[in-house]
Amino acid sequence: MISFLEGKLEEIYSTSVVLNVNGIGYEIFVTQPQHFKSEITYRIYTCPIYREDSQSLYGFESPEQRNFFKLLVEKVSGVGPKLALTILSFFKMTDLCSIIFSHDADQLSKCPGIGKKTAQRLILELHDYLKKLPIVTTPSPTSKTHTDAVESLIVLGYARKQAEQLIEKIQSEITPEDSVETILKKVFKFNKGTF
């Protein structure tokens, strides 16, 4: 599988960009094509999708975003690559994790293409999937939030041990009032150099 592509951006379309990698132009469907600039070198983390009648390449600014895309496409029935891309264009990663753990179908259904039933199914299927992951809970006043934050990091592609370590690094900055979203923002900010 092509994990990422690095090259100079040649063309920008409404839903995709063309990246020149050593003389080969790859069309990559991305979340925000308008954020790219021509003649600039980018590294785009990719996920190829193969169908009977087509082959498409989807690209993301981080491995975490790509991993969440794969999770949406592979684990949620009724969510194809185009809808998954729309979801990731509409919500920030931390917001998505927070929505899933708080079962906020109303918030999720604000995304174009997501009806109430699809929102409920997405939350149910991803939340159930996350619950099956081997999570070690830490007995503390913030145990539930801590666990949900670890689950969010795992769904973004981190190993359980690594996710636990990332949370532990900012343990002194976490308060009992912090939501999962707040904790993840603190993790990403503190560990900016490693993401």
Distance separating alpha carbons of residues 43 and 185, to the nearest angstrom: 23
Domain boundaries in the chain? Answer: 4-60, 63-132, 143-194
- Which of 94, 114, 111, 110 lies closest to 102, judged by CA? 94
- Average pLDDT estimate for 89-95: 85
What pLDDT, in 10s, does the model give residues 100-111?
888 899 999 999
- CATH for the stretch 4-60: 2.40.50.140
Residue 100 contacts residue 127 (beta carbons within 8 Å): yes
Residue 184 neighbours by CB under 8 Å, 6+ apart:
93, 94, 97, 98, 149, 152, 153
What pLDDT, in 10s, does the model give residues 51-79?
888 899 999 998 888 988 998 999 898 89
Q: What per-residue confidence (pLDDT) applies to 166? A: 87
Indicate yes or no: pTM above 0.75: no
Q: What per-residue confidence (pLDDT) applies to 192? A: 62
Distance separating alpha carbons of residues 143 and 191, to the nearest angstrom: 21
Identify the CATH assignment for 63-132 out of 3.90.650.10, 1.10.150.20, 3.40.50.720, 3.40.605.10.
1.10.150.20
Q: Does the domain formed by 143-194 have CATH 3.40.50.800?
A: no
Q: What per-residue confidence (pLDDT) applies to 131? A: 55
